[in-house]
Amino acid sequence: MHREQDQTGHATNGAKSRRAASGIWPLASGLFCITAITPLAAQTWSVDAKPSFDVRGAPENAFTAPIGAVRLANGRVVVGDKVAAGAQLLLFDPTGRFIRTTGRAGDGPGEFRYVGWLGRCAGDTVTVWDLRHRRMTLVDNTGIVVREFRVPVEGSKDPSPANIACSGNTMATQPGPQSFATTENAMLRRGLSPITMENAVRRTKATTPLIAGDELFVFGGGGTPRPLGKTTSFAVASDRLFVGTADSAFVDVYGLDGKPLAPIAVGVPRAAATRAASQRAITAIVNQLPPQFRDTVQKLLRQLPVPASMPPYHGLLTDPDDNLWVVLSAADEPTTRLRVFDKTGKLRANVTVPARLHVTDIGRDYILGTLEDQSSEMHVVAYRFRRQ
């Protein structure tokens, strides 16, 4: 990472005066990292114009609010969906035919109250994290619950995870804030906490330094994401962890022993945030709230200053070959733009999905995610792509 800095390690005045023209990103530490000014050379992997898989829910009910979706080795797709006072899992065959529902709202075995995350970890098993129950549920490829366990275990003083990612036998978790970073507004909060990586087979456990979480707007005991604010995402490969805080156009990398490796330059020029983009983000946030809170929250959010720049990226994922996929497009863009790197940071390809997709799973030849159509109906779709 190249920086212009004085002997104290802070950016020089010359660096500050040139940052708008040269694609220089400010860091929380006061340093400035210089991103690639010219577009990176890469292949373009083609994506089909229409999805190869498209479902809208079970035969009797459309999706309420899909939480996540993963595809299994046998081609089946598992979708987590919010329902009244809880959640359930829906299983579909490779053609989109509904097979069965697993779980329901409740507090008993095999029931879900607040599903915060689901993913495919080791083998062909889906792992579901219930934040309210502090419980992991493992579901096999037929939709049967095979195991449940609490995290942390009973009697442990370890904090409960707030964010999770996994790959193979390694699970990475980040708890709620242990401290808070300084922000430019008293109503904005950004927590700091480490990420723990645990490999069940190797019986290893390691922790990163403190990592900044999502930038939040807090009010009256509650909170929402800051419009156009920075969000943190992380993804696991077979031997390393990718962490993106959106503080710069770089992705931090850690070995599974917690030691830092060389960061990856995403190569995104700095773009100024606009009031119009902020208003679109506010609308998207407010529309997810209960109707009785929308007007109040919208007025409060409009009082916040617009961030100086757009986030350089919006999410990280990995595929079965340990490639890192960086989501470049914002939620309100008509297409979904992704940039692909190998695990060492070498640029492989640029990929564009012809839909506004929230990506949840990537395989060797498909991109799976959720989208909302023009009738506000939710879909889970998969697009096939071809590597050049």
Which CATH number covers residue 265? 2.120.10.30
On whether both 28 and 59 belong to a single domain, the answer is: no
Reported pTM: 0.87
On whether both 276 and 227 belong to a single domain, the answer is: yes
On whether both 336 and 191 belong to a single domain, the answer is: yes
**Domain span at residue 134?**
35-386
On whether both 17 and 76 belong to a single domain, the answer is: no
Longest dimension (CA), the chain: 67
CA atoms within 13 A on the CB side of 225: 19
Task: Report the DSSP pairing between strands 347-353 and 43-47.
Answer: parallel
- pLDDT tens for the 388 residues of the chain, in order: 333 333 222 333 333 333 333 344 444 444 444 444 344 568 899 999 999 999 999 888 899 889 999 999 999 999 999 988 899 999 999 999 999 999 999 999 999 998 999 999 877 899 999 988 999 999 999 999 999 998 876 656 677 888 999 998 899 999 988 888 888 778 899 999 999 999 877 788 999 999 999 999 988 777 889 999 999 999 999 999 999 999 999 999 999 999 999 999 999 998 999 999 999 999 988 887 878 889 999 999 999 999 999 999 999 999 999 999 999 998 889 999 999 999 999 999 999 999 999 999 999 999 999 999 999 899 999 999 999 8
On whether both 218 and 170 belong to a single domain, the answer is: yes
For 216-252, the pLDDT digits (tens) are 998 877 788 999 999 999 999 999 999 999 999 999 9
CB-based contacts of 196: which residues, under 8 Å, 6+ apart? Answer: 172, 173, 174, 205, 206, 207, 208
On whether both 171 and 313 belong to a single domain, the answer is: yes
Distance CA 28, CA 34 (A): 14
On whether both 16 and 92 belong to a single domain, the answer is: no
On whether both 306 and 379 belong to a single domain, the answer is: yes
On whether both 251 and 140 belong to a single domain, the answer is: yes
On whether both 16 and 103 belong to a single domain, the answer is: no
> What's the number of domains the chain is made of?
2
On whether both 291 and 142 belong to a single domain, the answer is: yes
Q: Is the CB of residue 273 less than 8 Å from the CB of residue 307?
A: yes
On whether both 237 and 226 belong to a single domain, the answer is: yes
